[in-house]
Amino acid sequence: MPQDELIERILSMKEELDAVIFAHNYQRIEVQRIADFRGDSLELARKAKELDAKIILFCGVMFMAETAKILNPEKTVLIPDVQSGCPLAAHASADDVIAMKKKFPNYAVVSYINSSAEVKAVSDIICTSANSVKVVNSIPEERGIIFLPDKNLCYYTKTQTHRENILCWDGNCYVHDRFTVEDLKNARGKHPKAKIIVHPEAPPDVQKVADFIASTGGMYRFAKEHRGEEIVLGTEVGMVERINDEFPDTPTFPMSESAICSNMKLITLAKVARSLDEKIFEVVVPDEIAERAKIAIEKMLAL
């Protein structure tokens, strides 16, 4: 089916079904364009809690759709491709976390939202790349912290909070962890007037030489507030496409054109249309897990 017809069909079904479409910033640009809301993990989690639609169709990876379901247990949550998992989330299992809690019984477990529902259920509080500093600062300074699963976000959070009693899990996002100082230098050579903003999932040596460090939501706000200025983004290329789509007067470039999350790109307009049409690929989180995970998520949202 031609793309124009697919889009028309999706928008029509969305109205018929009382559905809303969420798209993360790393989605294909054509998928982002048909979304009611697009944003980073924190923005979409907050928006999910406010909704009154019957169906949420989540264009993102599985942990994001799970979070929407946990916050909206009475709603139907669909994901267009059930294979769209997050390799970063796979770096920590609930059993791993339980074992660490036994080893460090007085430590608080701060889990990045890029984790499974099962991991969230055994965590004290959740964070995102946009609020990890605020979350850690909400925990008494004398209390140790187990921070998982991204070691680079943990490094960033430690440097911003000046806390040494944080144990960093040894996980990473394969897209962001591949960024190098050489990538940054090359980008600066090509775009000498540009501000270079990197995601806190990038390695420490890259963070140290960037102009700014920000979540994708922070990158978006920077672009909105600095219209007409050149920007280089050290994150997944979908974010670059979003800013160029919404702010064509703000030239935005990827720090690396190979920074592509294959899992995010699994979702296509055709899969969105099929999921709505057949109401397939519903996200289910067992009640016991959802109830405990919701406590940790809502602690974050209350900050």
Query: Measured between alpha carbons, how far is 233 from 218 in angstroms, rounded to an integer?
Result: 11
Q: What angle do CA 139, 145, 146 make, to 5 degrees?
A: 140
Query: Measured between alpha carbons, how far is 101 from 157 in angstroms, rounded to an integer?
Result: 20
Phi, psi of 44 (to 5 degrees): -70, -35
Where are the domains positioned within the chain? 3-84+264-285, 89-174+291-301, 179-254
Q: Spell out the per-residue pLDDT of the chain, length 303, in tens.
A: 889 999 999 999 999 999 999 999 999 999 999 999 999 988 998 898 888 899 999 999 999 999 999 999 999 999 999 999 999 999 999 999 999 999 999 999 999 999 999 999 999 999 999 999 999 999 999 999 999 999 999 999 999 999 999 999 999 999 999 999 999 999 999 999 999 999 999 999 999 999 999 999 999 999 999 999 999 999 999 999 999 999 999 999 999 999 999 999 999 999 999 999 999 999 999 999 999 999 999 999 999
Phi, psi of 156 (to 5 degrees): -60, -45
**pLDDT number for residue 163:** 97
**pLDDT number for residue 46:** 87
**pLDDT number for residue 41:** 86
**pLDDT number for residue 199:** 99
**pLDDT number for residue 94:** 98
Q: Which of 136, 161, 137 is nearest to 148 (CA)?
A: 136
89-174+291-301: CATH class: alpha beta
Q: How many CB atoms lie within 10 A of CB 131?
A: 20
Same fold, 89-174+291-301 and 179-254: yes
Assess if CATH 3.40.50.300 describes domain 179-254. Answer: no
Query: Could you tell me the pTM of the whole model?
Result: 0.96
- H-helix or E-strand containing 248? none
Task: Say which CATH architecture domain 3-84+264-285 belongs to.
Answer: 3-Layer(aba) Sandwich (3.40)
**pLDDT number for residue 92:** 98
**pLDDT number for residue 16:** 96
Which residue type sits at 91? H
Q: How far, CA to CA in Å, does 163 sit from each of 79, 125, 141?
A: 38, 17, 8
Is residue 177 within 8 Å of 205, Cβ to Cβ?
A: no
**pLDDT number for residue 233:** 99
